[in-house]
C-alpha cells in the first residue's frame, strides 16, 4: 500500500493529511470562478458542459474496465463474490450498484455487496469522519470472510481514503482480487492493486465536491462493471433482462413483453408460459424454444451455468446429431 506525499500514518492506524490541495479533485475549476453570479440557465449549461468530462473519463479507462469485467466474471463463476467498499459518496454509490443487482439480474444478495464506512446509517446521514480509520477498513474485510475467490473494489474519488486503503490491503493479504477506482492520477496518489482504474474528471464546479463529476463518472463505471459481469455470466439474452426478478407489476409487464417479443406469443399465452416456468423468463424461453418441461429445462440450464444461449445451442446440436 502506498500513500501520496501529503499523508502520514498515526500509531492508531489512522491516516492524516497535511495537505491535499495538489490533488486533481481538490483543485479550483477556472470555468466556475463566477459560479455564484450565474443565472439558473447559465448554471445548467455549465454543469452540462462539465459533465461531458465524466463520460470522457470513463472512455479513457475502457481497457482497465474491460479487465475488471473479465477478472470479476471469472471469480464469480468459481463461487466468488463482488464487494464494493468506500466512504461517503463513493460508499453510497457502491451500495446502490450492489442493491440493484438482485432485482435486475435475480442474483442472491450476497453475490454483490456494498460496504460503506459507518454502515447502513451512513447511507442517509453524513459520517465522513468514519473514513479515517485503516483498521476499520481491515475489519470490514475480515468480518465478511473475504477469500481468494472474491473481488474487492475500493472506491475513493481523491484516492486517499484510509478506510479504503486498509480494506484493499487486507483483501490482498487474503488473496482476493483488488480493484482501485480513483479520480486522481497515479502520480498524485499511487496504490498497489491488481487493477487500477483512474477516472480523471478534473476539478469540480464547486472545489472538492466530488459528488459531482467524480461521482457521476464513478456511477457510470460501476454500471459498466456490474452489468458487464452479469452479461458474461449469462444474465441477459441479446439485450434482454431474462433473469429479471418478477416481484411487482412493472417487472411482470417487462417479463411478459420480453416473452412476447422473443417468441411471438400473445400476452395471454406469454403469461401462461411465465407461470409454468415459475416466473423465470429465461426458463420460460428455453421451454418454448425446446419443448422441454420445467424440470428438464432446469437441468439443462444448470448444465450450462444458467446460460440460456449455451443451453439452446446445446439442445439444438444434440437433436441434430
Q: Which residues are catalytic?
A: 100, 131
Task: Count other C-beta atoms under 10 Å from residue 9's C-beta.
Answer: 14
Structure-block grid coordinates of residue 54 = 465524466
Q: What is the DSSP string of 88-102?
A: HHHHHHHHHHHHTHH
Give whole-number Cα distances, 148 to 71, 80, 82, 168, 171, in Å. 12, 8, 12, 13, 8
The CA radius of gyration of the chain, in Å to the nearest whole number, is: 23
Alpha helix positions (H), the chain = 40-60, 62-77, 88-99, 101-105, 134-143, 162-173, 213-232, 249-263, 267-276, 281-290, 294-303, 308-320
SS3 107: coil
- φ, ψ (nearest 5 deg) of residue 44: -60, -45
Rounded to an integer, what distance in angstroms lies between the CA atom of residue 199 and that of residue 192? Answer: 17
Question: CB of 113 within 8 A of CB of 174?
Answer: no
Task: Return the DSSP state at 248.
Answer: S
Amino acid at each position: 500500500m502506498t500513500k501520496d506525499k501529503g499523508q502520514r500514518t498515526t500509531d492508531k492506524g489512522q491516516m492524516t493529511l497535511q495537505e491535499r490541495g495538489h490533488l486533481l479533485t481538490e483543485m479550483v475549476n477556472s470555468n466556475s470562478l463566477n459560479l455564484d453570479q450565474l443565472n439558473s440557465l447559465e448554471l445548467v449549461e455549465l454543469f452540462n458542459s462539465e459533465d461531458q468530462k465524466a463520460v470522457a473519463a470513463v472512455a479513457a479507462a475502457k481497457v482497465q474496465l474491460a479487465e475488471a469485467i473479465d477478472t470479476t466474471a471469472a471469480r464469480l463463476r468459481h463461487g466468488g463474490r463482488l464487494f464494493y467498499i468506500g466512504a461517503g459518496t463513493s460508499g453510497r454509490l457502491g451500495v446502490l450498484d450492489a442493491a440493484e443487482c438482485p432485482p435486475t439480474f435475480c442474483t442472491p444478495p450476497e453475490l454483490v455487496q456494498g460496504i460503506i464506512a459507518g454502515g447502513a446509517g451512513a447511507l442517509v446521514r453524513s459520517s465522513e469522519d468514519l473514513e479515517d480509520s485503516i483498521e476499520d477498513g481491515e475489519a470490514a474485510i475480515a468480518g465478511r470472510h473475504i477469500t481468494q475467490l472474491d473481488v474487492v473494489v475500493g472506491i475513493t474519488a481523491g484516492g486517499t481514503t484510509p478506510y479504503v486503503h486498509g480494506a484493499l490491503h487486507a483483501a490482498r493479504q487474503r488473496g482476493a482480487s483488488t480493484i482501485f477506482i480513483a479520480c486522481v492520477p497515479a502520480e498524485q496518489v499511487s496504490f498497489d492493486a491488481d487493477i487500477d482504474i483512474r477516472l480523471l474528471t478534473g476539478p469540480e464546479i464547486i472545489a472538492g465536491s466530488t459528488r459531482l463529476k467524480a461521482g457521476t463518472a464513478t456511477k457510470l463505471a460501476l454500471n459498466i462493471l456490474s452489468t458487464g459481469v452479469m452479461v458474461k455470466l449469462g444474465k441477459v439474452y441479446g439485450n434482454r433482462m431474462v433473469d429479471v426478478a418478477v416481484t411487482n407489476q412493472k417487472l411482470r409487464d417487462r417479463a411478459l413483453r420480453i416473452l412476447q417479443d422473443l417468441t411471438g406469443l400473445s400476452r395471454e399465452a406469454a403469461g401462461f408460459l411465465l407461470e409454468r416456468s415459475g416466473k423465470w423468463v429465461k426458463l420460460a424461453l428455453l421451454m418454448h424454444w425446446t419443448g422441454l418441461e420445467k424440470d428438464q429445462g432446469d437441468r439443462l440450464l444448470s448444465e450450462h451455468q444458467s446460460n440460456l444461449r449455451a443451453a439452446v445451442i446445446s439442445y439444438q446440436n444434440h437433436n441434430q446429431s
